Each structure stands twice: as C-alpha cells, then as structure tokens.
Amino acid sequence: MNGNGNFKYTGFGTNSRGNHWCSRDYGNNSNSYHYSNSDGSYYYKNPNGSTYHNDGKGNATYTPPGGQASNSTSN
C-alpha cells in the first residue's frame, strides 16, 4: 500500500483491545512507526530517529535524534 508522501506502508493493524499500530518505509533505511492505544496513550518513532511518547494522562516525552529526552507535563 502506498501512502500520500514518499513512503510505503509496511504494516498496520488493530488488536483485540483496540490498540492501533502502523509502520512506514521511507527508503534508505529510514523507517517509522506509531501506535495509539485505547487508553489514550501513543508513541511515534520518526524517520530521523526522534521519538515521542504521550501516556494519555498529560505526560509526554520527546527524544530528538541522538539526543537527550525531555519531559513535559500538562497541569
């Protein structure tokens, strides 16, 4: 399946608990994936190596490519 950009979907699905995942291939060993869970949490791994996680409760962690994680909390 082709995406709308310069990537190809390499897998996707939803499990019995309603959790969704998707992976993409951008070429040149540049891949990404994400999942989103029924509890509101989600995670992204971007093609540049950065990651973003949100626990669905207002807490998030972003890690830049090759960098140190930074946390944020919603009040």
pLDDT at residue number 72: 80
Using CB atoms within 10 Å of the CB of residue 47, give its burial: 0 to 12 exposed, 13 to 18 middle, 19+ buried. middle
Question: What is the identity of the amino acid at 68?
Answer: Q
pLDDT band at 1 (very low <50, low <70, confident <90, very high): very low
Task: Render the chain in DSSP notation, one character per residue.
Answer: -B-SSS-EEEEEEE-TTS-EEEEEE-STT-EEEEEE-TTS-EEEE-TTS-EEEE-SSSEEEEE-TTS--EEEE--
For each of the domains in the chain, give its residue range(s) and CATH number, in order of start. 8-73 (2.20.220)
pLDDT over 90 at 10, yes or no: yes
